[in-house]
Chain A
Amino acid sequence: MMNALANLSSIIIPAIIFYIVAYGLINKCNVYEVFIAGAKDGLKTVFGIVPTLIALMVAVGVLRTSGFLNFLGEMLGRLTDMVGFPAPLVPVVLVKMFSASAASGLVLDIFKTHGPDSYIGLITSIMMSCTETIFYTMSVYFIAAKVTKTRYTLTGALIATFASVFASVIIAGFM
């Protein structure tokens, strides 16, 4: 099963590049010039997030080296370990609900400590690819609609997030 997954995974990106460039050529798009214009925008996006990433990774670094997260994670982890969910992942799931960048800092910590190909590293990789920042998204989007009563949004968001976490643990067990 894993071989099939790995094979498909390795052809997806070349296939997408091939399709987009071929489609562009067929539709008489100046693919090269357009690519460069788009790439320039992408660079701007990255430059735009540099300060944010520094601010958040420093905060995460301080929180991590203080040992507070280990303390909190151990507390909650004792509960989650009993149901088969590794304790080091508890802080990542919690932080991801508030801030994707802060969660990225924690993900990198896990990669450094356990390695990206370990069982814990794999769960982290999959889980983080399949969840969103609940509170951030909700606050920004509802402000645009000038809505204060969010009704069943939060419950649905939490259900979807826990479905992702659950499925990530199951599928990482097969890898």
Chain B
Amino acid sequence: MLNFIWAFMLIIGIAYGAFTGQMKTITDGALNSAGEAVTLCITMLGVMALWSGLMEIARASGLIARLTAGLSPFITFMFPRIPREHKARDYISTNIIANILGLGWACTPAGLKAMEELSKLEKERTGRHQTAASKEMCTFLILNISSLQLIPVNMIVYRTQYGSSDATAIIMPAILVTMFSTIIAIIYCKIMEKKQ
């Protein structure tokens, strides 16, 4: 998918630019963007290092394990058909916590393991591998896509870099919006779960 999008952006851009006579601008655009990408990464190095350092403390001190335990009632509510001791619950919890804390690189591995476990669970239920998504998978994906992140770290970095007078002003509004869309997502999942 990304192959296609990337090629599409370059090819459409250059073709459209040739058509409208913007080749000089496109040359500058390409070279400047490459430089900007590096500047941005330098800013990100500091913030990322701070955040992952703190998260490592939270993991090593058992804080993450404690938070995962606190999430148990929510997991039971969202995924009532997953047995109590099933591994899928742990992976789903870790993924949700990492999502809430905005740890992109911690979300994906846990999310992928959760999907594998949900697939195994469906096989145990029906006796063979299913090519259609289970209700749990749909709910898990929709929850993930509804966005659960509390502190939009990347966005704050970008805002700072482009001279915002109050880069963190968006934290509370973003939390409210995230809560709103997550509640809508939960209602939708619950309706579909009953319906099918």
**Chain A residues within 8 Å of B, Cβ to Cβ:** 2, 4-6, 8-10, 12-13, 16-17, 20-21, 23-24, 26-27, 29, 31, 34-43, 45-46, 49-50, 53-68, 71, 98-99, 102, 104-105, 107-108, 111-112, 115-117, 121-122, 125-132, 134-142, 144-153, 155-157, 159-161, 163-164, 167-168, 171-172, 175
Contact = CB atoms under 8 A, between A and B. Distances in A.
A99 B133 CA distance: 23
Given A98-B5, A115-B163, A131-B147, A45 B52 contact: yes
B56 A38 contact: yes
B180 A13 contact: no
A108 to B, nearest CB: 6
Nearest to B142: A156
A125 B170 CA distance: 7
14 contacts: A9-B172, A34-B56, A42-B50, A45-B52, A54-B34, A58-B37, A66-B22, A111-B159, A115-B164, A117-B165, A130-B152, A131-B147, A151-B196, A161-B146
Contacts, number: 359
A39 B52 contact: yes
A29 B60 contact: yes
A122 B45 CA distance: 24
A121 to B, nearest CB: 8
B145 A132 contact: yes
A38 B105 CA distance: 12
Contact of A46 (B10, B45, B185): B45
Interface of A is mostly: helix
A53 B37 CA distance: 6
Interface of B: 1-2, 5-6, 9-10, 12-14, 16-17, 20, 22, 25-26, 28-30, 32-34, 36-38, 40-41, 44-45, 48-63, 105, 108, 111-113, 115-116, 118-119, 129-133, 137-138, 140-142, 144-147, 149, 151-152, 154-155, 158-159, 162-174, 176-178, 180-182, 184-185, 188-189, 192, 196
- Among A6, A66, A135, the one with the most B-chain Cβ atoms within 10 Å of its Cβ is A66
A13 B100 CA distance: 14
Contact of B159 (A102, A125, A151): A125
Contacts of A160: 142, 145-147, 181-182, 184-185, 188
